[in-house]
Structure 1
Amino acid sequence: MPDERRTTPPVSKVQDRGWAWVVLAATVLVQALTLGFPSCIGVFFKNLQYDFQASNSETSWFPSIMTAVLHAGGPLCSILVERFGCRVTVMLGGLLSGVGMVASAFSRSISQLYITAGFITGLGSCFSFQAGVTVLGYYFIRRRALANALASTGVSMGLTLWPLISQFLLDEMGWRNTFLIFGGVLLNCCVCGAVMRPVPVNPPAPTPKPCPGKLLEETHLSNGNTSCHEEPLRPSKCAACLQTLQKYLAFDIFCKNKGYQIYTIGVSWMVMGFVLPLIYLVPYAILNGVEERKAALLVSIIGLINIFMRPMAGLLSGLSLFNGRRIYLFSMAVMFNGLSNLICAISAEYNILVFYCLVYSVSMSVIGALIFQVLMDVVEMDRFSSALGLFTILESVTILIGPPLAGLLVDLLGHYRYVFYASCFFMVTAALFMGLSFCTMEAKAKLKETNKPPLENPPRGKYTEVPAELEPEKNGSPDVSYVTSI
Structure 2
Amino acid sequence: MPQDQEQTESRWSWVVLLGTIVVQGLTLGFPTCIGIFFADLQHDFQASNSETSWFPSILISLLHAGGPICSILVEHFGCRVTVMLGGVLASSGFVASSFSRSLSELYITAGFITGLGMSFSFQAGITVLGHYFFYYRALANALASAGVSIGISLWPLISRYLLEVFGWRGTFLIFGGILLHCCICGAVMRPVAPKTESACPPPNKVPEQGRLLTCGQAVQRHLAFDVFLQNHSYRFYTLGVVWMLMGFAVPHVFLVPFALSQNVEEHKAALLITIIGICNIFLRPMIGVVAGRSMFAGRRVYLFALAVLLNGLSNLICVISGSFSVLVFYCLVYSISMSGIGALLFQVLMDIVPMNRFSSALGLFTVLESFTVLISPPLAGLLLDTTGNFSYVFYMSSFFLISAALFIGLSFFFLCKKTKEKQMMDRVHEEPTPEKELNQRYTEEPVTQSHSTVMYVTYVTSV
TM-score (norm 1): 0.84
**How far apart in 1 are the matches of 2:200 and 2:123?**
23
State the distance in 2 between where 1:445 and 1:159 align. 40
Larger fraction in helix: 2
Does the aligned pair in 2 maintain the 1:101–1:180 contact within 8 Å?
yes
Amino acid at match of 1:422: M
CA deviations on 1:233-273 (whole Å, 9 max, x unpaired) are: 32111111000111111112222222222111111000010
Of 15, 28, 41 in structure 2, the residue corresponding to residue 35 of structure 1 is 28
> Which residue pairs with 1:455 in the alignment?
430
**Deviation sequence 1:367-399 (CA, Å, 0-9, x none):** 111112222233333322222211111011101
Match of 2:390 in 1: 416
Match in the other structure for 1:14: 8
- Structure 2 Cα separation of the partners of residues 290 and 32 of structure 1: 27
The CA deviation string for residues 7-48 of structure 1, in whole angstroms up to 9 with x for no partner, is 74875153221x433332222211111111111100001110
> Could you tell me how far apart the structure 2 residues matched to 1:141 and 1:449 are?
29
Conservation of the 8 A alpha-carbon contact between 2:93 and 2:176 = yes
Contact 1:11 1:224 in 2 (8 A): no
Alignment correspondent of 1:156 = 149
Which deviates further from its counterpart, 381-390 or 234-243? 381-390
Which residue number in structure 2 is paired with residue 165 of structure 1? 158
Equivalenced residue count is 432
Alignment of 1:406-485 (within 5 A): 406-452=380-426, 453-456=428-431
Say whether the 8 Å CA contact 2:74–2:197 is kept in structure 1.
Answer: no
Q: Are 1:58 and 2:51 counterparts?
A: yes
CA RMSD, 1 decimal? 2.3
> Contact 1:340–1:359 (CA<8 Å) still a contact in 2?
yes
Is the alpha carbon distance of 1:168 and 1:229 closer, same or farther for their aligned partners in structure 2, counting shifts above 3 Å? closer
Q: Is the 8 A contact 1:11 1:223 kept in 2?
A: no
The answer to whether the Cα contact below 8 Å between 1:96 and 1:120 also exists between their aligned partners in 2 is yes
1:327 aligns with 2:301: yes
2:107 pairs with one of 92, 109, 114: 114
Please give the residue correspondences for 1:282-431 in structure 2 after superposition, counting only pairs within 5 Å. Answer: 282-431=256-405
Task: Give TM-score scaled by structure 2 length.
Answer: 0.88
- Which residue is 1:103 aligned to? 96
Structure 2 stretches lacking a partner, 5+ long: 433-463
Using the TM superposition, give the Cα deviation of residue 142 of structure 1 relative to its aligned residue in structure 2, in angstroms. Answer: 4.3
Give, in angstroms, the shift of residue 442 of structure 1.
2.2
Query: 2:227 corresponds to which residue?
Result: 253
* Contact persistence 2:35–2:252 (CA under 8 A): yes
Residue 47 of structure 1 corresponds to which residue in structure 2? 40
Task: Give the drift of 1:223.
Answer: 8.2
Q: Would the alpha carbon gap of residues 250 and 20 (structure 1) be closer, same or farther in structure 2, given more than 3 Å must change? A: closer
Indicate if the aligned counterparts of 1:16 and 1:143 stay in contact, CA closer than 8 A: no
Structure 1 gap ranges (5+)? 1-6, 202-219, 458-486
Which residues in structure 2 correspond to 1:232-247 (within 5 Å)?
233-247=207-221
Rounded Cα–Cα distance in structure 2 between residues aligned with 1:358 and 1:182? 28
Output the CA distance in 2 between the equivalents of 1:292 and 1:368: 27
Given candidates 76, 84, 105, the residue that maps to 2:77 is 84
| Counterpart amino acid of residue 264 in structure 2 | V
CA distance in structure 1 between the aligned counterparts of 2:135 and 2:401, rounded to whole angstroms: 35
CA contact (8 A) 2:142 2:344 kept: no
3-state DSSP of counterpart to 1:234? coil
For residues 84 and 9 of structure 1, the distance between their equivalents in structure 2, rounded to whole angstroms, comes to 28
- CA drift of 1:148 comes to 2.7
Deviations 1:97-119 (A, max 9, x none): 11100110111111111110011
Q: Go from structure 1 to structure 2 and tell me whether the alpha carbon gap of 1:197 and 1:287 turns closer, same or farther (over 3 Å shift).
A: same
Question: Secondary structure of the residue that 1:14 maps to in structure 2?
Answer: helix
Contact 2:57–2:377 (8 Å) recurs in 1: yes
1: distance between equivalents of 2:360 and 2:27? Answer: 23
- Cα distance, 1:226 vs structure 2: 11
